[in-house]
Structures are given as C-alpha cells and as structure tokens.
Amino acid sequence: MAPGAPPDLPGYAYLRELGHGGFADVYLYRQHLPSREVAIKVLRQEASSDEARAQFENEANRMAMLSSHPGIVTIYEVGVAPDDRPYLTMEYCPHDHFGRIARAHPLTVARALEVGVKVAAAVETAHQAAILHRDVKPANVLLTTYGEPALTDFGIAGGIDAEHSAASQGVSIPFAAPEVLNGSTVGDELSDVYSLGATVYALLAGRSPFSTGEPLSEVDLVRRVLQAPLAPTGRPDVPSSLER
C-alpha cells in the first residue's frame, strides 16, 4: 500500500518522511512545545475496526510500559489525527538503523557485542514484564542521538501468556526462529533470543544468517532457515566461541 499523506497535527510541524511499512508510515515532525524533533508513526488507515485499534493501542501501551529503559525507544504521546488516523509520537533517532549500518559496514566484534548486550538487556526487560517482541532484527534497532542502540517497533508484540495466532504473520523471515516459521509457536522467550542471535550475526556479517547474497522467494528463504546449515560469518576476527 502506498504511503498516506502526513496528517496535520495540532502542536506539530511536518518536516519529512522517515519511512514506511506494511501498515503505517513514519514522519519527522517538529513539536512546538517543548521544541524538539519527534518521529510520528501514523496508521495508513483509520482504526475503523476493533482489531486495528486494539493492535495500535497494544503497541502504544507496551512501548509506554518499557520506554523508560535506555535500550528502548521512548514514547511521548498517543493520539488520533483530525483525519481519524491513530498516531504514536516517539523519540527521534537521527541515524540509520543497524540494518543499513551493518550492510554498509559490518560492525567490529567489540561493537557488535556491545550492541547485542544492550539489546539483550532491553529484550530481557520486556520478558520480565511478560512482553514478547517477536520481531527483533537489525532494522528494529535504532541508533540514538547519543550513539546508543534502542529497540523499537513492538507492533506485533504480545504477552507471554496470550494467544496471538495472527502475530506470526508479521515476523521477518530472515530473523525468525524455525519453530515460528514452521508454525510450532507464534513466539516465546526462546524465539526472541534466537532473533537476537540472528541480529548479532547480521551485525558481524552484513547480511542475515541464511542469506545467499541473491534474491530469494519467501518459500526458498523459509526452506533455508528450516533445513540449511548455518554458514559461519566468514570473518577471521570472530572467535570460535562467538561463531558457536
């Protein structure tokens, strides 16, 4: 679906588009008071159905519960635009996400481990609050103004004890655990940890663990995750303990 027009939000001045996904667009605005740049995530459509509104409120509430953690993007406000599209106002991270960063220049071992440890702390904090992320990947780790990694996009997150069969439809195949892709589970603490490990691999290799460097269909990629042996990162400076 094509991006929608940025909404006219009272108290904010639109600056530019930051990105878009399957269900929402993210824009850069300047908040008038306090004066600061913020990222605003806007749903593509009005939250006309109970399911759409519940999913958006779920993301807002879960991010708000966790956003005081230094490794999780801070949420400021939730509202509904004049055109009835719900929006979420968040901390603006001006740098690229770690997906682009690692593809352009794979991280040093020390930096990859530093990022991995800090994101692990964020994931563990979510798990302690009985919240699963379900989509940990480099593109969901942003680089803050102060050079720190921060986890974002809890859009398909859910409670550990909840049933969320539809959630698995939103996972990113290259970073999803095999048991999620084969339908054994819609996600648990272990599958979040798998995705965290796959993320650290990508920070080191500049590609997802089962990438071949060539375009793959979703079916072929799922087959590789389920059946292919994991290739090493190919870096001589990565110790064998980390490869394991």
Q: Is the dihedral of CA 62, 63, 69, 75 positive or negative?
A: negative
**What is the DSSP track for 76-88?**
EEEEE-TTS-EEE
Q: How many distinct helices (H) and strands (E) make up the chain?
A: 7, 9
Contact, 28 vs 37, CB < 8 A? yes
The Cα 75–Cα 66 span in angstroms is 9
Residue type at 161 in one-letter notation: D
Cis before 34 (ω within 30): yes
Residue with tokens 């991010």: 63
SS (H, E, C) 128-149: HCCEECCCCCHHHEEECCCCCE
Given the residues 36, 44, 111, 134, select the one marked as catalytic: 134
- Does the active-site annotation cover 134? yes
16: enclosing H helix or E strand: strand 12-20
CA angle 233, 236, 241 (to 5 degrees): 70
Residue type at 55 in one-letter notation: Q
Neighbours of 2 (CB within 10 A): 6
Instruction: State the catalytic residues.
Output: 134
